[in-house]
Each structure stands twice: as structure tokens, then as C-alpha cells.
């Protein structure tokens, strides 16, 4: 879809990094409150209020992803689409040491970040942000707090892109991937966000924080948690039975799903975004402007490679 819900994601075997769209403000990587079940949640910072005389439609923006980064197929993978007619300047960050201040004892010590186009060509690569583009990153106000963290500033044409996070020297640990919209005035936007990586148990579940911005209406979203179908794409250890939850900024449960046919089957099937297998999870929500968290975990504490996707339908 395209930015309105058509299938534009890369196939899971082509996804080499996660998707995100962030606009105007730093994401709160240092804040991970817990939901009622004790799992940590990313709490995105709400964007500054726009002019009271403006009416902006609800849009999906400001995305961050946190998970345990491993090696091989367990690296952090995200994909995103830039839709529209103009190039867009983005800032992509891979954080690890900053998470130590949030009580994450096994944070990724030395993240490595790579940005690729839809054909898999490397557009940019960074290990320590001061090694390249130091002045540009400082000018954005988004320079990481630690020299060993990675960041990239890049102007991209409309199309599909991926960002991959792994640890230097095969290091492992909890990492955070963020994507910021550095040019909100351009006639283009970030859309159709996906993230792929290892889903563990306890605090090693996959966590994504996102913002619905705007001052009018609600955003109709499809949120999918996939696992079994990844085996058809060559993933050796897919998450067998994904469980999906979406909560608001206060931790209130908005929706939860185990097997997509159990709830909203007709509505989901009408979008052409129904998962390939019944064990995969999907929810359709109407989200007012605000901050939300999506969590992907395995049923009965199972672990494996999972794929979390967020589509804006309207």
C-alpha cells in the first residue's frame, strides 16, 4: 500500500532496518515507565502546540523503537516510506549508552547505524556521531549525548528506506532507533512504518512509541504483529505466536490482540492488510492526537524474530 494504507513495505527479507517518522522534538529515550503488567513503555514527548488558528489533520509522526539487539538476523531492522513529491531531510539516531541512565543495565555499548535504499544500497554508515557530520548534527539539536552513539543526517527522495542497528564487534544489548523529520515544511511525509528484530521475554520485548500529531480528527491505523509468515522469507527463528498491545501515554490499554481473526476480522480483511497466518496479530484503531506505545511479545513468553508494522489508512 501507499501512505494511505496500500502495501509499500519492503518484504521482510529485504528489510534491513526499522521505520520511523519524527518531527520537531527530541524523543524521550531516558523515560521508560511501566505498563500495568510491569513491562517498560516508551513515553514519546508530545510536540509543541500549533497555532490555535490552524487546523491540521491527524498524522502519524514521531516514532522510536527499543529492543534487544543481537547478531545475524537478530539485529534491529526498520523500514519507512517517504511519500509525496519533494525530498525530505531526516535525522536517524541509534542510541545505547544513553539508556543506562534509564535503568537499562544491558544497553548496547557501541551502536552502529546504516541507512539503505530499497535496493539495499548503502547511503550512509556511522559508528560514532562525531566522526562525521558533527556540525550538522549539533545544528539540529539532535546530537546524541554519548560519543559512541550513532547518528546520520540525510536528504532523501520519496521512496522506501531502511535503517539497521547492530553492535560494533558483534556487541549485543538493548538499543533505541529513532527517526526525525528534519523538514516538516516539505511536500512529503514519513509513512508506513515497520520494525523487525528479536522479541524476547520480560524487558526484552519489542517496544515502539509513536505520536499522532495534528489538531483535527483521528488517524485510522492498522497495527500488525507478525511472526510465523517470516519463515517464508528465510527467517530461521520467527516468533511463533505474536501478542500485540497498544496503550496510550498513561498506560491505558487501547487494544490487544493475539490472533487477528478473533476480533475485527471483517474490518481488517477489507483493508487487504490481513496477515497470512491466523496466529499473527492485528488491530485497527482510531487514534486521536497524542502519544501511544505498541508492544510485541510472544505468547507464553516465547521468543523469536518479529515484525511490527503501523499503517495510516486515511
What CATH number corresponds to the domain at position 65? 2.60.120.380
Residue 122 has pLDDT above 90, yes or no: yes
Q: How many domains does the chain have?
A: 1
Is residue 184 a part of any domain in this protein? yes
More confident site: 159 or 19:
159
Report the distance separating Cα 287 and Cα 293, nearest Å. 12
CA distances from 147 to 35, 73, 93, 95, 180 (A): 31, 26, 12, 10, 19
- The pLDDT of residue 306: 97
User: pLDDT above 90 covers what percent of the chain?
Assistant: 63
Residue 115 has pLDDT above 60, yes or no: yes
Strand 304-312 relative to strand 253-257, pairing: unpaired
Predicted confidence (pLDDT) per residue in 167-196, tens digit: 999 999 999 999 888 887 778 887 778 899
- Predicted confidence band at 94 (pLDDT cuts at 50, 70, 90)? very high
Is residue 5 a part of any domain in this protein? no
Note down the domain range covering 200. Answer: 59-215+286-299
- The pLDDT of residue 18: 33
Is residue 118 a part of any domain in this protein? yes
Is residue 243 a part of any domain in this protein? no
- The pLDDT of residue 57: 56
Cβ pair 132, 113 in contact under 8 A: no
Predicted confidence (pLDDT) per residue in 238-294, tens digit: 999 999 999 999 999 999 999 999 999 999 999 989 999 999 999 999 999 988 999
Q: Which three cell numbers stand for residue 112?
A: 552502529
CA distances from 141 to 24, 47, 91 (A): 10, 15, 10
- The pLDDT of residue 52: 33
Q: Which three cell numbers stand for residue 133?
A: 557530520
Report the distance separating Cα 260 and Cα 265, nearest Å. 6
- Predicted confidence band at 210 (pLDDT cuts at 50, 70, 90)? confident
Compute the mean pLDDT over every residue in the chain, rounded to the nearest whole number.
Answer: 82
Is residue 51 a part of any domain in this protein? no
- The pLDDT of residue 313: 84
Is residue 147 a part of any domain in this protein? yes
Is residue 161 a part of any domain in this protein? yes
Residue 106 has pLDDT above 90, yes or no: yes
Predicted confidence (pLDDT) per residue in 54-88, tens digit: 344 566 666 889 999 999 999 999 888 888 899 99
Is residue 253 a part of any domain in this protein? no
More confident site: 126 or 4:
126
Residue 97 has pLDDT above 60, yes or no: yes
Cβ neighbours around 131 below 10 Å, total:
10
Amino acid at each position: 500500500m501507499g501512505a494511505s494504507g496500500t502495501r509499500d513495505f519492503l518484504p521482510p527479507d529485504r528489510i534491513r532496518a526499522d521505520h520511523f517518522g519524527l518531527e520537531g522534538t527530541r524523543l524521550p529515550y531516558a523515560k521508560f515507565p511501566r505498563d500495568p503488567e510491569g513491562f517498560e513503555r516508551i513515553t514519546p514527548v508530545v510536540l509543541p502546540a500549533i497555532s490555535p488558528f490552524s487546523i491540521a489533520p491527524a498524522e502519524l509522526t514521531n516514532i522510536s523503537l527499543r529492543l534487544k539487539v543481537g547478531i545475524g538476523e537478530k539485529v534491529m531492522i526498520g523500514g519507512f516510506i517517504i511519500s509525496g513529491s519533494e525530498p525530505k531531510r531526516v535525522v536517524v539516531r541509534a542510541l545505547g549508552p544513553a539508556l543506562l541512565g534509564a535503568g537499562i543495565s544491558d544497553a548496547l555499548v557501541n551502536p552502529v547505524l546504516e541507512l539503505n535504499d530499497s535496493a539495499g544500497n548503502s547511503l550512509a554508515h556511522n559508528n560514532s556521531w562525531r566522526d562525521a557530520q558533527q556540525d550538522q548534527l549539533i545544528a539540529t539539536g539532535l546530537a546524541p549525548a554519548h560519543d559512541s552513539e550513532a547518528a546520520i543526517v540525510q536528504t532523501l527522495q520519496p521512496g522506501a528506506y531502511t535503517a539497521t542497528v547492530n553492535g560494533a564487534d558483534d556487541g549485543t544489548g538493548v538499543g533505541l532507533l529513532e527517526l526525525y523529520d528534519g523538514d516538516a515544511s516539505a511536500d512529503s511525509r514519513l509513512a508506513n512504518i515497520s520494525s523487525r528484530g528479536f522479541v524476547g521475554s520480560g524487558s526484552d520485548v519489542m517496544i515502539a512509541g509513536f505520536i499522532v500529531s495534528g489538531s483535527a480528527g483521528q488517524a485510522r491505523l492498522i497495527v500488525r504483529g507478525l511472526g510465523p509468515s517470516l519463515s517464508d522469507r528465510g527467517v530461521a527463528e520467527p516468533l511463533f505466536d505474536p501478542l500485540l498491545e497498544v496503550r496510550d501515554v498513561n498506560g491505558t490499554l487501547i487494544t490487544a490482540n493475539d490472533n487477528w481473526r478473533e476480533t475485527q476480522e471483517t474490518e481488517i480483511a477489507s483493508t487487504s492488510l490481513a496477515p497470512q497466518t491466523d496466529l499473527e496479530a492485528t488491530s485497527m484503531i482510531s487514534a486521536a492526537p497524542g502519544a501511544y506505545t505498541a508492544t510485541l511479545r510472544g505468547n507464553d513468553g516465547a521468543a523469536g524474530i518479529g515484525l511490527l508494522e503501523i499503517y495510516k489508512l486515511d
